[in-house]
Structure formats: C-alpha cells, structure tokens
Amino acid sequence: MAVEPLTIGGTEVRPGSRRTIDIPAALLYTHAPVTLPVQVIRGRREGPVLLVNAAIHGDEINGVEIIRRLLQLPALRRLRGTLLAVPIVNVFGFTDRSRYLPDRRDLNRAFPGSERGSLASRLANLFRTEILAKATHVIDLHTGAIHRENLPQVRANLDDPDCEAMAQAFGTPVIINTPLIEGSLRQVCNDESRPVVTYEAGEALRFDEQSIKAGVQGVVQVMRHLGMIAPSRSRRRARESYAANNSTWVRAEQDGMFRAIVALGAHVQQGQALGFIADPFGEKEIAVEAITSGIVIGRNNLPLVHEGEALFHIARFDAVRRVARYVKAFNRELEEDQEWQGDDPEPPIV
C-alpha cells in the first residue's frame, strides 16, 4: 500500500524523507519571528504516526535532550510509519527559562486552544491543528517543577487499553494512573481518542543523565511496541511496570531549613523519618515523617521551606517490596547499559 504524503506547516514530507519544519508562531515586539520547530521522519512503509514532544513547560529541559538523542539513533533509518519530534513546544518559556508563557499562563492548561484567545490559547491551537492532528499516538515528556525532582515514571489513563499498553511498553518501574486535567494535552488527546502517555523524570532546568537515558529507552520501547522499529536483539527479560494504587504528598509542618535523608526511589515505612526541618539556631527542630508506606517518587530539593510546602511524594503499591527491588535494578541497568546511546555513545552528562 502506498504511503500518503504528509503536510505540516504548508510543507509536504514524502515517504522515505526527513525534514525540519519551522512553523510560524508569532512576531516579537522586536519584529523577530518566533517559530514552532518540528522534525518529521517518514518511513517508506505505512505505520503509526508517533508524536514525541517536550518543553510544554518551558523550563523542563530533560525532554529536549531525550529527543535530541532519539533523533540520532540508527534504527530510525529503517522506520515504519512516521515520527514527529517537537523538542520545544513552549518556545517562549524555553528562551526565558520559565515554566510559563510571557502572559504567565500555563500552556498545559490551554488546550485545545483557539485562534483568537490568549497567547497560550493561540500556541496550543497552532500545535494541535498543525502537529497533534497528524498523530495517531503521543508521548509527552515532562520533569518535576522547579526545585522538585521526579523518579522516572509514566502517567497515563490506565482505563484506556491502548494507553495502558504504551505505559507498560515504556518500561519505567512506576506507572501512575492520573486523572485527566482540564486544558491539558492529555485531556485533548483523550477527547480525540488519541492514545497518550506522559513521562515524568528529573527536575526543571537541570539535566539528569539517568532520567534522560530512561526516557530514550522508554520511547524506543514504545516504538517497538507500535511496530515502528525492529524488536531488540537483547536477551534481557523485559520487566513489568507496576501501577500505583494512589499517591500522596508529605508536607512541611513548619517553616525552616529542610534536610532530606531519603533518596528518590526509596522504600519507606509509615512513621519513618524522611528528613528534618529546623530554625537557623537549631532550637526548634521537627522530623518529617512518612504518612504512609510506599516508594518515594518525588522530592523537594530546596532546603528552605514554608509551612505546608510539598516535600515528598509517596506512591502506594500492593507489592511495594517488589517495586523497590525493581527500582534499584532499573537504576543499576541504566548505569551499566549503553545500548540506547547508539553504536558510538557520547560521554554521559555528569
């Protein structure tokens, strides 16, 4: 069956070709143009159209590096279907090192957008109509917020069989069945029956090598699951991911200087000390205790905290000890395994 031409931003990309397209997005008040960049890689054979995007929040840069590495992989030369790679969706926030757009709106609350709305709404509409509308499947790459770090995890609507299958294929130890948020990319994908998973790992404005490697590995595994690239020749047994029953945040009970004593991925017991908050003189110090047993999937890295501030994100599982062992094995394999970096791996970020 012949593969139909694909047009994005007025540019036709034919089967077997690779193009980088700059879609006009706006003009700054300096008259400088702002474009939404997308790289399109088309195989010669019919197949899924996978959109991989990052930096919907402009300060979440791990996903940008994940896409850069993904685009270097030799396996893409034998691609079946089409890969749409958008490393920077929120181009305004990215250049300002900000989560938000210049109007202080969150782009991931502006979908589906409109042609005549706010700047966020217009950018969301441009992304949806020019790029998202062409995709059959979506991987949305994120990190934690500023000063917050996330354990590599996938968030998805597990009530959708296609989303669950993509989440399992991604292969992180932890999957969170999260509700759809009004105005988010996941919400509009759900409304349009387009399977989507969100990968969360690392911290805003910081590269994290483990999170990046796990992200590249996960995207490649989803592409194999979709039949876009050849199966792995590795004999390593695939691990099953575990969906959390639910999750909760442990919050600061007083203002002060925060000292964390447990790491991401740690298995903690209810009542266990996770850290301490003290005043500068050490005259008033309290322990931060786990309010439930589970795995630490998120952590505040800022030592100065206010009362009520979120400090630790704990996910609960039926098989929590098994998940804890998987997290340790997963991290160990990332440290040892260079398979996902190509035949000539570049030095890791340290």
In the prediction, which pLDDT does 238 show?
62
> Which residues, 6+ apart, have CB-to-CB distance to 31 below 8 Å?
none
Please identify every stretch of the chain with a pLDDT value under 50, giving residue numbers as ranges: 338-341
Query: How many CA within 13 A on the CB side of residue 183?
Result: 12
pTM of the model: 0.94
- Contact predicate 34/92, CB 8 Å: yes
User: What does the alpha-carbon distance between residue 53 and residue 67 come to, in Å, rounded to a whole number?
Assistant: 8
pLDDT digits (tens, 9 = 90+) for 94-140: 999 999 999 999 999 999 999 999 999 999 999 999 999 999 999 99
Q: What is the distance between the terminal CA atoms of the chain, rounded to a whole angstrom?
A: 47
Write down the pLDDT at residue 236.
Answer: 59
What pLDDT is attached to residue 337? 64
The two structure tokens encoding residue 332 = 């160990």
The per-residue pLDDT for 335 is 79
pLDDT of residue 1: 54
List for the chain the helix, strand, coil content (%; round to 5).
Answer: 25, 30, 40
User: pLDDT at position 340, please?
Assistant: 45
Predicted confidence (pLDDT) per residue in 220-232, tens digit: 999 999 999 999 8
Model pLDDT, residue 41: 98
Domains of the chain: 6-225 (3.40.630.10), 246-316 (2.40.50.100)
Pairing status of strand 6-8 against strand 246-251: unpaired
The residue among 128, 339, 297 whose CA lies nearest residue 199 is 297
Pairing of strands 45-54, 137-142: parallel
Which residue(s) pair with 149 in the sheet?
A: 203, 299
Closest CA to 117 of 100, 137, 103: 103
Three-state secondary-structure class, residue 95 = helix
- Element of type H or E holding 332: helix 320-336
Q: CA 198, CA 272: separation in Å to the nearest integer?
A: 30
